[in-house]
Amino acid sequence: MQLFGNTIRVGAGQTQLLGEGMLFQRAVDRAKEKKLEIKTKVNKIRMDYFLLSLLFTFSLSTLTFFLLRRTGTGRKTRLPPGTIGLPFIGETLQLISAYKTENPEPFIDSRVAKYGPVFTTHVFGERTVFSADPETNRFILQNEGRLFESSYPGSISNLVGKHSLLLMRGCLHRRMHSLTMSFANSTIIKDHLLVDIDRLVRLNLESWTGRVLLMEEAKKITFELTLKQLLSIEPCEWTENLRKIYMRVIEGFFCIPIPMFSITYRRAIKARERVAEAFRLVVMQRRRESERGMKKNDMLAALFDSGGDGGGVGFTDDEIVDFLVSLLVAGYDTTSTTMTLAVKFLTDTPLALAQLKEEQDEIRAKKTDSMPLEWEDYKSMRFTQCVINETLRVSNIISGVFRRTMTDIDIKGYRIPKGSKVFTSLRAVHLGQENFKDARVFDPWRWMKSSNPTNFMPFGGGPRRCPGNELARVALSVFLHHLVTRFSWEPAEDDKVVYFPTTRTQKRYPIIVKRRSNAVEQCKEYGMEKSSKV
């Protein structure tokens, strides 16, 4: 990432949070976190994987394949062009090494240049059709459940739980998706969730002094928000302990290709069981309370209710627990990483930061320091929304989603056979020069000019479009508001955005914060108020 005047050029690697793309990349990430020599570890892991793959290759005697076999030779099927690489491992190694460069889309870029926006490759053990074409992507996402269905490997379903929304299909999926939407839609956020988001963000920022690891703080905030929204649980020792266990579950998502060999994966499965157990106790207790007529206003209450009037029997505790865990999984890394990257991009683009600060100061000036943000305030954050959209466009926390064809599909003059894996790359579209002008530059002002781009799909589309999208936007807006109105900051160290193994900054973005002088008086007041209560 370099600075060019007021704009940033975005560079480097790959990510894929919910699909299989991330696979064993997280193993590499762990090395980073333990501050080990990254390069040697990466190479070692790649080497291990490589040897393992070779082993498979031999034992499966797929050596009858030859290097670089061209695809698209079937009689009736005509696959998009491309190469499927080595036997078994296909182009997986190329994919992984490509994403360790400074370019965010090297693997797809080079293939799009050669074959066009829809091409065939072979990654993570399977022939896969990649789409970097906006129209094809919309077609795939809109036809979810009819022509395509989402597709996760078994190792992922073990982690999210078999009753997770991510794995549901058909009617049940429709019903639960709309239930999730109606728990996090704008009416609910406005009437119920916003006040807690505001309060919990403030509470967290209150303790910031000196050096802050922004990514860690953002994760803590997101976790607390989610537990409050799902289960009405306030931050306490219990939530913080649960978060520590939960972090191990997340690690498990990034070591998928050979889970049975992975200690991290096994640890993640155990950690998941502990998180589920903790949730199960809460669910049991709440069920008893609700039978006695005590109602709370949260996702769990909605789940209890939904079982009752849906005609069918209510959900079992296991179903509810899986469902809750999957919501936590879907919202945690995504929202917190976006928070961190928004701050990073703003820091690197001083003009944008100045404009956002001006907008937020104006909102704050109409209130005393302790007054919470209201829905109208959120709605008036015009430039902030531009910054959020641009952050989502450029960083693409979820780079794309995997699907499987349910029938033979004719697309762009090709025929993709039933049962094929398809990867819908959201990032390739967002960073495609033909879709966005100067696509690889962080430029929030572009949203001032045209704000309804059909090619912009950071939350996916169709029946599986992210039900948490508005919630994520509101959390981001409230976070940015309190951050810029309370603090000024500077980076504590050089840190850069990497796209491998997932989009994030290399060092969790350490910053040095200073309370803004105009906020000092109120903060003192608040501090006294707080300590006198304690």
Ligand X SMILES: *[C@@H]1O[C@H](CO)[C@@H](O)[C@H](O)[C@H]1NC(C)=O
Give the binding site for ligand X (CB under 6 A). Answer: 182, 185-188, 385-386, 389, 447, 451-452, 456
Contact between 120 and ligand HEM (CB under 6 A)?
no
Closest C-alpha to 287, from 308, 261, 260, 257 = 308
Is there a binding annotation on residue 466? yes
Three-state DSSP string of 330-391: HHHHHHHHHHHHHHHHHHHCHHHHHHHHHHHHHHHHCCCCCCCCCHHHHHCCHHHHHHHHHH
- Residue 137 is classified by DSSP as H
Contact status, residue 346 vs residue 356, Cβ threshold 8 Å: yes
Contact between 482 and ligand HEM (CB under 6 A)?
no
Return the structure tokens found at 205. 């920022």
Distances in whole angstroms, Cα of residue 201 to Cα of each of 225, 238, 525 = 8, 18, 18
Contact between 152 and ligand HEM (CB under 6 A)?
no
Contact between 161 and ligand HEM (CB under 6 A)?
no
Contact status, residue 153 vs residue 166, Cβ threshold 8 Å: no
In the complex, what is the shortest distance from the CB of residue 447 to ligand X, in angstroms, rounded to a whole number?
Answer: 4
129-390-18-23 Cα dihedral, nearest 10 degrees: 70
Return the structure tokens found at 151. 């597709």
CA angle centred on 44, ends 255 and 123, rounded to 5°: 50
- Which one, 45 or 301, has the nearer CB to ligand HEM? 301
Residue 398, contacted partner among ligand X, ligand HEM, none, CB below 5-8 A by kind: ligand HEM
Contact between 430 and ligand HEM (CB under 6 A)?
no
Cα gap 100→98, rounded to integer Å: 5
Cα gap 385→476, rounded to integer Å: 9
In the complex, what is the shortest distance from the CB of residue 328 to ligand HEM, in angstroms, rounded to a whole number?
Answer: 8
- Which one, 378 or 447, has the nearer CB to ligand X? 447
For β-strands 118-123 and 126-131, DSSP reports them as antiparallel
Residue 128, contacted partner among ligand X, ligand HEM, none, CB below 5-8 A by kind: none
Contact between 177 and ligand HEM (CB under 6 A)?
yes
Contact status, residue 386 vs residue 444, Cβ threshold 8 Å: yes
- Which one, 32 or 173, has the nearer CB to ligand HEM? 173
In the complex, what is the shortest distance from the CB of residue 83 to ligand X, in angstroms, rounded to a whole number?
Answer: 34
Q: Scanning residues 515 to 534, which ones bind ligand HEM (CB under 6 A)? A: none
Contact status, residue 91 vs residue 69, Cβ threshold 8 Å: no
In the complex, what is the shortest distance from the CB of residue 466 to ligand HEM, in angstroms, rounded to a whole number?
Answer: 3
Residue 187, contacted partner among ligand HEM, ligand X, none, CB below 5-8 A by kind: ligand X
- 140 Cβ contact list (under 8 Å, min separation 6): 131, 147, 148, 403, 422, 424
Contact between 324 and ligand HEM (CB under 6 A)?
no
Sole residue written with tokens 């005393």: 368
- 276 Cβ contact list (under 8 Å, min separation 6): 161, 321, 322, 325
- Which one, 151 or 395, has the nearer CB to ligand X? 395
Residue 184, contacted partner among ligand HEM, ligand X, none, CB below 5-8 A by kind: ligand HEM
Among 31, 45, 156, 166, binds ligand HEM (CB under 6 A): 166
- Phi-psi region at 413: left, alpha or beta (left = phi > 0; alpha = psi -120 to 50): left
Contact between 150 and ligand HEM (CB under 6 A)?
yes
Residue 327, contacted partner among ligand HEM, ligand X, none, CB below 5-8 A by kind: ligand HEM
Residue 422, contacted partner among ligand X, ligand HEM, none, CB below 5-8 A by kind: none
- Which one, 363 or 472, has the nearer CB to ligand HEM? 472
Return the structure tokens found at 456. 């912009």
In the complex, what is the shortest distance from the CB of residue 450 to ligand X, in angstroms, rounded to a whole number?
Answer: 8
Residue 150, contacted partner among ligand HEM, ligand X, none, CB below 5-8 A by kind: ligand HEM
Which residues make beta-bridge pairs with 123? 126
In the complex, what is the shortest distance from the CB of residue 397 to ligand X, in angstroms, rounded to a whole number?
Answer: 14
- Which one, 239 or 335, has the nearer CB to ligand X? 335
Residue 204, contacted partner among ligand HEM, ligand X, none, CB below 5-8 A by kind: none
Per-residue string for binding with ligand HEM, 189-208, x by CB under 6 A?
--------------------
Residue 160, contacted partner among ligand X, ligand HEM, none, CB below 5-8 A by kind: none
Return the structure tokens found at 472. 């994520």
Cα gap 363→485, rounded to integer Å: 9
Contact between 398 and ligand HEM (CB under 6 A)?
yes
Amino acid at site 97: S
Q: How many residues of this chain bind ligand HEM (CB under 6 A)?
A: 25
Q: Scanning residues 431 to 470, which ones bind ligand HEM (CB under 6 A)? A: 458-460, 464, 466-468
- Which one, 8 or 189, has the nearer CB to ligand HEM? 189
Residue 385, contacted partner among ligand X, ligand HEM, none, CB below 5-8 A by kind: ligand X
Annotated binding-site residues read 466
Annotated binding-site residues for heme read 466
